[in-house]
Amino acid sequence: MDQLLRDYVEKLKNDDLLLPAWYEAGKIVMLDQLKLPKEEYIELEDMEGVAKAIKDMVIRGSGAIALAGIYGIIMATFSSKGDAEEIRKAGEYLKATRPTAVNMHKTVDMLCKDMGGFSKDELVQEMQKRSIDIMEKQLDVERRIGKAGADLIKDGETILTICHAGGVAGFGFGGRTLSVFRTAIAQGKNIKVISCETRPYFQGARITAWELKKLGIPVVLITDNMVGAIAQKGMFDRVITGSDRLAINGDTANKIGTYMISLVAKAHGIPFHISTSKYNIDLNAKSGKDIEIEMRDSSEVTMINGERIAAEGVEALYPGFDITPNENITAIITEVGALEGPFVEKLTKLAQEA
């Protein structure tokens, strides 16, 4: 029943990839990103387990969440033995886990589209074919984003980034931003990366720095509140971050703290880039005001590794993302090249191809 998918995953394991999750012997094996830089893997036996991993941020990053969505649909397909209605229900369940994750929403919708006309056995095979096709296209997208971004970078530059938009945040090559860094290195450019630690989950410290070190790319870690100070000293030449969702005017939702960095970059005349793909563009969002910002539990701010860091009774806020306005963005790096503003026509056209 699962031979197509098993053969494809075997091929992926032989490529030079940083896989965040894969199918193996009737279960999903997933890197627990909450434990990084310690490499631990969990095994998920059903769609509900995949959904919980998405919601609990065991897996994160727009591409990786989309990949998890694929595997959630696959598990629902196998468990229901190709029941289209059960697969559709699974799709809605998965999409509800992360309201800002437009890439996953689109991916699930693509998988669940036009399921009529198949027998149950045929649908099991069809869903595997669709999943493999999306994975192949996404890996190609990551490589093309890498080329478009790397061509902007000059030899000897230091690039600042926040959060994590790398291989285990994508489909394995380099997600969005790491694709740019590893392609620049492949082009023979001598670069260095400054990674913001990224409170409250420390994705920059735990994941971005880990991936860069793993790939041999020089990295320096800073706390999020150091960005202004090191910009004053001229310690970085460019900013490249990922994105979780784009409005068609170029306003961008990314990890909380991105907007502040864009203000610092603008004040100091430092190029600020978003790395993304057509799958992250929301045609229903005319501007950043139309993007829902996920409010997460305050305990994620007041607790670290199960230990309280604030006094009992102290409340906290945690909007998971902020909106960087398009006027702060020098160029948006995509699979079709680096796009400069105005963005509406360019992003609308790109999104319509998704």
Report, as residue numbers or ranges, the catalytic residues. Answer: 244
d(CA 211, CA 164): 9
* Helices 120-150 and 62-80, packing angle to 10 deg: 170
> How far is residue 151's CA from residue 5's CA, in Å, rounded to a whole number?
35
What lies within 8 Å, CB to CB, of 319 at 6+ separation is 256, 293, 294, 295, 296
Computed on alpha carbons and rounded to an integer, the radius of gyration of the chain in Å comes to 20
CA distance 18 to 41: 13
Give yes or no for a contact between 197 and 204, defined as CB atoms under 8 angstroms apart. Answer: yes
Closest CA to 280 of 87, 51, 105, 81: 105
Whether the bond into 218 is cis, omega within 30 of 0: no
Q: CB burial class (10 A; 0-12, 13-18, 19+) of residue 99?
A: middle
Angle at 91 between CA 88 and CA 97, to 5 degrees: 150
Buried b (16+ CB within 10 A) or exposed e, 309-321: eeeeeeeeebebb
Length of the chain: 354
10 Å CB burial of residue 42 (0-12, 13-18, 19+) is middle
